[in-house]
Structure 1
C-alpha cells in the first residue's frame, strides 16, 4: 500500500528555518512565514522534513488514493524557494501573469527570492488556492 511521504509533524517551524544554511534564504523564509500566516490565518506546521504548511485538507482521488495535505505551503530549498498552491485551479495561470520572476511545475512555483515577486499577487494566489481547495474538498 502507498505510504504518504509528506505528513504533518510536530517539528518546530522556527528550528527548521534557523537550520537553513543561507542567511538570505532564512530571511526570505521568515518573510514568507509572516505573509502565509497573515493571509491564511493558520498556524504554520511542518510537513515532512522541509515543507512549511498552512491549514489542511483531506483529498480522495477516483483511483482510491487519499490523504491529507496542507492547503498552501512553501519550502526554502537549496536552489530555489518552492511555493505550493492548488493544481487544477483555472485562475492560477491568470494570476501568475503579474506575479513576477518565477518558474513552475505542476503544483509548485519556484522563486529565487521574495523581492522578485509581487507580494499582493502572492496573497491573492494564497487566498485563491485555499478557497479552491475548500470548494473542491468540502467537509473539512
Structure 2
C-alpha cells in the first residue's frame, strides 16, 4: 500500500514563509500564521514542503488512516489555500456567504487576496473548524 506523502516535517515555518516569492503572498502567509496560532493556541508546523498546519487528527482515505492537520494554509502562487474552513461537501454554512470573495474546494477555500475577505469571519470559520476537530 502506498503511504501518504504529506506529513509533518522539521522545516522552519518562518523560513518557508520568508521564502515565498511574491511579497503580498509572503505577507499574507505571515498574517494567516499569526491568526491561526492565536485561534488554535498551537504552533505552526510544516506539512510536506508547502503546507502550514495546526494540530492533527486521524484522517482516513483510500490509503488508510493517517494523521492530518486540523486547520492550515498554503500561500500558493494563484491563491491562498485555507484548509479546514469547509466541511467536506457542506457549502451551506452561512458564514461562508459572509466571508467575501473566495471559491470553495472540498475541505478548503481559495482566496486571491486577504483584503477581499472579512478577517473576523475567517477567524470564526477557523475557530469553528478547530473546535469541531477537537471534540
The two structures have a TM-score, normalised by structure 2, of 0.91
| Counterpart residue number, 1:118 | 118
Q: Secondary structure at the match of 2:98?
A: coil
Structure 2: where are the runs of 5+ without partners?
none
Structure 1: where are the runs of 5+ without partners?
136-140
- Aligned CA distance change for structure 1 residues 91 and 38 (closer, same or farther; 3 Å): farther
- Aligned CA distance change for structure 1 residues 38 and 131 (closer, same or farther; 3 Å): same
Please identify, of 10-19 and 52-61, the stretch whose mean Cα deviation from structure 2 is larger. Answer: 52-61
| Counterpart residue number, 1:17 | 17
Moved over 6 A (4+): none
1:43-62 aligned at under 5 Å gives the runs 43-60=43-60
> How far 1:118 sits from its partner (Å)?
0.8
Aligned partners of 2:89 and 2:106 also within 8 Å = no
1:1-140 aligned at under 5 Å gives the runs 1-60=1-60, 65-85=64-84, 87-88=87-88, 93-135=93-135
Q: Secondary structure at the match of 1:104?
A: strand
CA distance, structure 2, for counterparts of residue 25 and residue 68 of structure 1: 27
CA distance, structure 1, for counterparts of residue 132 and residue 90 of structure 2: 9
- Aligned CA distance change for structure 1 residues 75 and 92 (closer, same or farther; 3 Å): farther
